[in-house]
Structure 1
Amino acid sequence: MIKRLQRKFVVIAAVCLLIVEFAIIGGINGVNIYQTNKNADDLLNIIIENDGRFPEFDPKGMKHDKPQNDSGSSSDSNVQPENRKPDKHRGFNEETKYQTRYFVVYADSNGEITKVDTGHVAAVSSAQAIEYGKSVLDSGKTSGTSGNYRYKTGGTDKGKMIVFMDCRSDSATKNRFLLVSCAIGAAGYILVCLLIIIFSKRAIRPVVESFEKQKRFITDAGHEIKTPLAIISANTEVLEMVSEPNQWTASIKNQITRLNGLLKDLLSLAKMEEEKPALTMADFNISDAVYDAASPFTTLAETKGKKLTIDVANGLSYHGDEGAIRQLVSILTENAVKYADEDGEIIVKLFTSHNGKETDLEVSNTCKEPPQGDLTKLFDRFYRDDSSRSRSKGEKKGGYGIGLSIAQAIVRSHKSKISCKAENGMMIFTAQLK
C-alpha cells in the first residue's frame, strides 16, 4: 500500500510538472515565432511602403538632405521626406538594407506579371522569381511563407507588388531555439523527477507513520480483546451449566462469535495490507478451488429463498496462494448471497479472459436497487451504502464492511485487479487474476 501511494505521488507530480513544462516551452517558442514573424512582416511593410526598396536609414525618420528655401539657402526646419514614410521599426538600422535579402515581383491589375527585381538576392533568378509570384497570385493570399521566403503583397498605381524576403536565417534561429529549449526542459524535467523520487518517501512519511500506527493498534487491540472475549465465553458456558440456557446467554454467545469474526477479519486485513504479505505461491487447480469454496453457500442461499449457480470452467490452473484464493471466493460469494434480492439469483463464474492471459472470477447477484455513487467505495473498510446495504431495512444482514476490503487486499497481493459494476439489475464483482 505504501509503495502504491508513493508511486501515485510520483506519477501525479511528474504529470503536473510535464504539463507545466509543455506550457512554458510552448509559450516561449510561440512568442519567439510570433515576434520573429512580426519583425519580418515589419520589414516587408517598409519595403512595400517605399515602392519595393529599403529607404535610407534616418533615426529620426527624416531626410538627410535639407531642401533649399526661396532665398537659396538650406532650411533648418524639419521636413518629411517626399518619397517615404518615417521609419518606426526599431529593428531597422544602418545595416538592415544590406543584411536583408529580398526580391520583388510586380503584377498588373489583371494578375499578369510585368516586372521582377532580383537585385537584392543571389539565390533566386528572374525565372524563379516569376514562379514564386505566380504561385502567390494563384493562391490569392496576401501574406505567408513560400519555401524559404516570407512574402507580403501591396498595392501600386499599376496593380500590385509581391515582396519576398529570405527567412532562412530566422527559420534556423527558431529551430535552434526550439531544440535548445526542449533539451534544457527535458534535462530539467528529468532532474526534478529524480528529486521527486528521492524526496517522495519524506513527503509521504506522515501517511506512512499514521498507517503503521493504525496497523499496530489493530494488531494490539485484537490480541488484547481476545482475552476478555474468551473469559466472557467461558463464563457464559458456566452460566448455562448452572442454569438452563436462555435467550440472554444465547445472545451473549452470538455476539461473542460475531466479535471473534470481526477480530479475525481485522487481523487478516492487516496482514494482507503489509508490503510483503506471507503468501505461499504455487501452481494449483483453481477450478476445483473455486468450486469447493462456493459450494457450501448453496445451502445457505436456499434457506434464504435464493438460488446459487456455479459456472466454473474445468481444468484451469493458476499460480498463487490457494488458501487466499479460496478466501476470496468465500468472501465474494457470501457477500452476494447476503445482499441478493429476495428470491434472487447468485452466479459464480470462473473463465479465461479473451486475451488468454488472465483468469477471471466473476460473482454476481440480482439487485433491483444497486448502491449509488462511486462503487469503488464498496471496497473501503467499514463502508456501508445507506440506501441498500444497511441493516436498517428490517433484515439483519450482518457484517462490518471489511469483507470486500480483504477481498481487494487478496487480489492486490496477487498483483491483479478487482472491480465492481451494476448493470441490467445485477451487481457484478470481477477479479482479474493475472
Structure 2
Amino acid sequence: MFQQLQKSFVKNAMLSFSLVLVIVLVLLNGIYYQQTIEQIDRVATMLIDHNGTFPDAPSTNPPVNFLEELTTLGTEWKKDDQLSTRYAVITFSNQQIQSINRTNLVSVDEEVLKKQTQEIISGNVQSGWIQKLRFRLSKGNEESLLVFVDANKEIQQIKRLLIVSILVFLICLIGIYGLIRFSSKRAIQPFVDNVKKQQQFISNASHEIKTPLAVLSANNDLLAMMGTENRCIDSNRRQIKRLNALVEQMLLLARYDESQSSIVTEKIDLIQISKEIIDDVSPILQEKGLSVQFQGELSCVVNADKSSIQELIRILIDNAMKYTVIDKVITIKVSAGVFCIANQTESMKEEQVNQLFDRFYRVDTSRNRTTGGSGLGLSIAQKIAEINQLELSAELVEQNRIQFIIASKNR
C-alpha cells in the first residue's frame, strides 16, 4: 500500500512539474517565434515603404533612458543588417510582372520567383510563407510591390531553440524525478506512521477484545449448562458470535494491511472456485429461494493465491445472497477474461456505489439488523484483490442492479 502511495505521489508530482515545464517552454518558443516573425515582417515593410531598398541607417546615438531602450528594442537596424538580409523585390501591374530584383537573393531561381509571384498575385493573401521565404504584398493603383525575405537563418534559430528546449525539458525531468523520488519517502512518512499506528491499534485492540469475549462466552455456556432458562442467554450468544466474527475480520484486515499474510501464487479458475463455494452454501440458497446462473465463458484463469481468492469470492457471493431482492437470481459471468458477479438490489445512487469498499460503510444502516455483517467484507475483498495484483470494482448496471468485477491489472 505504501509503495503504491509513493508511486502515486511521484506520479502526481511529476505530472505537475511536467505541465509547468511544458507551459514555460511552449510560451518561450512561442514568444520567440512570434518576435522573429514580427522582425522579418518589419524588414519587409521597411523595404516596401522605401520602394524595395534599405533606407539610410538610423542614428547610432544610444538611448537616453531605460524606457527609450525598451521602446526601440527590436525596431532599430544597422548597416550590417542590410548586408546580412537576403531579399528579392518584384514589381507588377495588372497582375503582370514588370521587374524582378533578386540581387540579394541569388540562391532562388528567377523562374521559381515568377511562379511564386503569380500564385500570390492571384490570391488575396497580403503576407505569409512560401517554403522558407516570408513575403509581403503591397498593392498600388498603378504599380504593386512584392517583397520576399529569406528567413532560413531565422528558421534555423527557431529550430535550435526548440531542440535546446526539449533537451532542457528532458534534463529537468530527470533531475526533478530524482529529487522527487528521493524526497517522496520523507514526504509521505507522517502519513505512513499514522497508518501504521492505526493498524497496530486495530491489531492490539482486536487481540485484547478476544480475551473478554472468550470469558463471556464461557460464562454464558456455563449458565446454560446449569439449566438457567433465560432468553438473554441466547441473545448474549448471538452478540458474542457477532463480536467474534467482527474481531476476526479486523485482524484479517490488519494482516492484509501489514502484508503479513503469506501469498503463494498459482493458476486458479475463478469459475471453478465459485462452483465449489456455491455447493457449500446451497442449503442457504435454497432456504432464501435464490438461484445462481453462469453465463459467458466457461473459465476465468488468473495467477493468484488460491486460499485468499476463495475468501474473496466467498465474500462477494455472501454479499449477493444478503442483498438480492425481487429477482432472486445471482448471475456469474465471464467475458474477455473479466469475472463479474451481479444481482438485483435496492435502488442505489452512483455515489453510494463508490463508497461500498469503505470500511464499515453501509448503504442503509438499518440493514445491520436484518442482514448482519459488519461492513468490512468488501474492504477485505478489495485488499485481497490488491495483494493478488487484481482489480476489484463495483458498477451500477441499473438503478437497482449492481455487479462486482474482478479483472487482472495486466490485461
Q: Same fold (TM over 0.5)?
A: yes
Report Cα offsets for 1:326-358 as digits up to 9, x if no partner.
Answer: 111110011111111145322234x3x42xxx4
- Specify the structure having the higher radius of gyration (Cα): 1
Taking structure 1 as the reference length, the TM-score comes to 0.85
The aligned counterpart of 1:362 is 340
Structure 2 counterpart of 1:428, from 389, 403, 406: 403
1:383 CA drift (Å): 1.4
* 2:275 paired residue among 291, 305, 309: 291
The one of 392, 397, 405 aligned to 2:371:
397
Do the aligned partners of 1:39 and 1:91 also contact (CA within 8 Å) in 2? no
**CA 1:390–1:344 in 2, change beyond 3 Å: closer, same or farther?**
farther
- Structure 2 distance, partners of 1:366, 1:169, is 71
**Aligned equivalents of 1:103, 1:283: Cα separation in 2:** 76
Whole-angstrom CA distance in 2 between matches of 1:241 and 1:374: 46
Q: Which residue of 2 aligns with 1:75?
A: none
1:142 correspondence with 2:126: yes
Task: Supply the distance in 2 between the matched residues of 1:99 and 1:266 (Cα, whole angstroms).
Answer: 80
Identify the residue that residue 324 of structure 2 maps to in structure 1: 340
Task: Say if 1:293 and 1:327, in contact at 8 Å, map to a contact too.
Answer: no
Contact residue 102 and residue 166 of structure 1 kept, 8 A? yes
Report the Cα distance in structure 2 between the residues aligned to 1:206 and 1:280, rounded to whole angstroms. 32
Q: Give the CA deviation at 1:165.
A: 0.6
Runs of 4+ in 1 over 6 A off after TM superposition: none
Query: Whole-Å Cα distance in 2 between the matches of residues 121 and 282 of structure 1?
Result: 75
Aligned to 2:54: 54
1:30-179 correspondence runs (5 A): 30-59=30-59, 90-108=75-93, 110-179=94-163
**C-alpha displacement of 1:121:** 2.2
Output the CA distance in 2 between the equivalents of 1:243 and 1:88. 105
Which sits farther off after the overlay, 52-61 or 338-347? 52-61
Matches within 5 A, 1:175-186: 175-186=159-170
**1: distance between equivalents of 2:279 and 2:353?**
27
Deviation at 1:374, TM superposition (A): 5.5
Once the two structures are TM-superposed, the CA of residue 19 in structure 1 deviates from its matched residue by 1.1
Give the aligned length: 398
Task: Say if 1:152 and 1:277 are closer, same or farther in 2 by CA, change over 3 A.
Answer: farther
Distance 1:179 1:285 in 2: 53
Is the deviation greater in 251-260 or in 296-305? 296-305
SS in 2 for 1:400: coil
How do 1:181-200 residues align onto structure 2 when only pairs under 5 Å count?
181-200=165-184
1:227 positional shift: 0.4
Counterpart amino acid of 1:185? F
Q: Does 1:378 align with 2:356?
A: yes
CA contact (8 A) 1:294 1:329 kept: no
Displacement of 1:301 after TM fit?
Answer: 3.2
The aligned amino acid for 1:414 is N
TM-score (norm 2): 0.90
Conserved? CA contact 1:305–1:342, under 8 Å: no
Return the offset for 1:201.
Answer: 0.8
CA distance in 2, matches of 1:343, 1:183: 62
Structure 1: tracts of 5 or more residues without a match: 62-86
| Letter matched to residue 292 of structure 1 | E
| 1:272 aligned residue (252, 256, 264) | 256
In structure 2, stretches of 5+ residues that fail to align are 62-71
**What is the alpha-carbon distance in structure 1 between the residues aligned to residue 390 and residue 402 of structure 2?**
20
Please identify, of 283-292 and 236-245, the stretch whose mean Cα deviation from structure 2 is larger: 283-292
Asked if structure 2 preserves the Cα contact closer than 8 Å seen for 1:107 and 1:113, the reply is yes
Please give the secondary structure, in 1, of the residue aligned with 2:76: coil
Q: Distance in 2 between matches of 1:314 and 1:174?
A: 61
Structure 1, 35-44 or 242-251: larger mean CA deviation:
242-251
Q: CA RMSD in A?
A: 2.4
Higher helix content, 1 or 2: 2
Letter in 2 for 1:300: I
Q: In 2, distance between residues paired with 1:19 and 1:124?
A: 42
Whether contact under 8 Å (1:149, 1:164) holds in the other structure is yes
Q: Which residue of 1 aligns with 2:65?
A: none
1:423 alignment partner AA = V
1:277–1:413: 8 Å Cα contact kept in structure 2?
A: no
Q: Is the 8 A contact 2:206 2:251 kept in 1?
A: yes
